[in-house]
Chain A
């Protein structure tokens, strides 16, 4: 129901969102982004409850949160 739109190339891999997500939705991705680091990915998007804790912690507005689709 909740979808995350992630700007992978903006992510600096600080880890704040991953550490603070209460539903363990987020993880470091396996691929490297354009910055040469592992960006956050929504590994378990179905667990997301739209609490926006990831958004609160992110210094770079990497994550946007949508309900019922991201268009």
Chain B
């Protein structure tokens, strides 16, 4: 008797994505699809796609999805969640969307403690527009707009978002994960599932950062990109849970 051990999640459309070979967006998307299925929330989930490589979210997720202007996703999520608190609303953003143009919106949504889940895909570069510097680009990293490598004296150091948001009292769950090995991806799924569960339980604002491979704009083969994360990104961006206020409250 045939038994499915793993099948395409119902929450994903049966289409192949436009992402490059080895792109982390595909992995995150798959995790979202699995989690939405496992939590049984597909029929009340609304995703908000960013401006960036993941802009076509509505072509991939099998639930209600909205577009948002660049960086404004947390504000759109706020409007949605305040009007329909029963919906499970997630904001899906890249490093430019969240940490450059959208810094005000993410800080204030976090500071207000909006009961939403934020998915922050950090691949250290602006992919869609051809590989320019992001706030999270590494020191010395060559991009289209840092042809001599990122220089701290000129443009500052890479931005650490969950660490910044941890200072705000009302942020509930902040974590950083990586997508470069089976263990890391399994850990990432656990963190993201917790973030969604917290929204279901009304526990407040969650943000999970995913260190994601971008073989195309790092200029390496996909398997090299996985190593790049281990060797270059992790020393700058340590993994872990920066804040888990609901768990702490329970422990106390």
Q: Least Cβ distance of B20 to chain A in Å?
A: 7
B248: Cβ under 8 A from any A Cβ: no
How far, in whole Å, are A52 and B7 apart by their CA atoms in the complex? 11
How far, in whole Å, are A56 and B182 apart by their CA atoms in the complex? 6
List the A side residues contacting B1 at CB < 8 Å.
Answer: 68-69
| B5: contacting residue among A9, A20, A66, CB under 8 A | A66
List the A side residues contacting B2 at CB < 8 Å.
Answer: 66-71
1/0 contact trace for A8-43 toward B, CB 8 Å? 011011111001100000000000000001000000
List the B side residues contacting A71 at CB < 8 Å.
Answer: 2
- Identify whether the interface residues of A are mostly helix, strand, loop, or mixed: loop
Which of B25-33, B95-103, B236-244 binds A?
B25-33
Are B30 and A20 in contact, with the CB atoms below 8 A? no
B185: Cβ under 8 A from any A Cβ: yes
Classify chain B's interface size.
Answer: 20 to 34
| A59: contacting residue among B4, B19, B181, CB under 8 A | B19
List the A side residues contacting B23 at CB < 8 Å.
Answer: 59
Q: Least Cβ distance of B17 to chain A in Å?
A: 6
Are A59 and B5 in contact, with the CB atoms below 8 A? no
List the A side residues contacting B5 at CB < 8 Å.
Answer: 2, 50, 52, 65-67
Are A14 and B182 in contact, with the CB atoms below 8 A? no
Are A60 and B6 in contact, with the CB atoms below 8 A? no
List the A side residues contacting B6 at CB < 8 Å.
Answer: 52, 55, 63-65
Q: Least Cβ distance of B102 to chain A in Å?
A: 24
Q: Least Cβ distance of B14 to chain A in Å?
A: 9
Are B222 and A64 in contact, with the CB atoms below 8 A? no
Given A10-B16, A56-B186, is A64 in contact with B30 using a C-beta cutoff of 8 Å?
no
Are B223 and A64 in contact, with the CB atoms below 8 A? no
A47: Cβ under 8 A from any B Cβ: no
Q: Least Cβ distance of A54 to chain B in Å?
A: 9
List the A side residues contacting B30 at CB < 8 Å.
Answer: 58-59, 61
List the B side residues contacting A58 at CB < 8 Å.
Answer: 26-27, 30
How far, in whole Å, are A9 and B3 apart by their CA atoms in the complex? 24
List the B side residues contacting A66 at CB < 8 Å.
Answer: 2-5
B36: Cβ under 8 A from any A Cβ: no
List the B side residues contacting A10 at CB < 8 Å.
Answer: 16
List the B side residues contacting A53 at CB < 8 Å.
Answer: 182
List the A side residues contacting B20 at CB < 8 Å.
Answer: 12
List the B side residues contacting A6 at CB < 8 Å.
Answer: none
B158: Cβ under 8 A from any A Cβ: no
How far, in whole Å, are A67 and B1 apart by their CA atoms in the complex? 8
Could you name 16 residue pairs across A and B whose Cβ atoms are closer than 8 Å? A12-B20, A14-B22, A14-B215, A15-B22, A16-B226, A20-B182, A53-B182, A55-B6, A56-B185, A56-B186, A59-B23, A59-B30, A60-B17, A60-B19, A61-B30, A67-B2
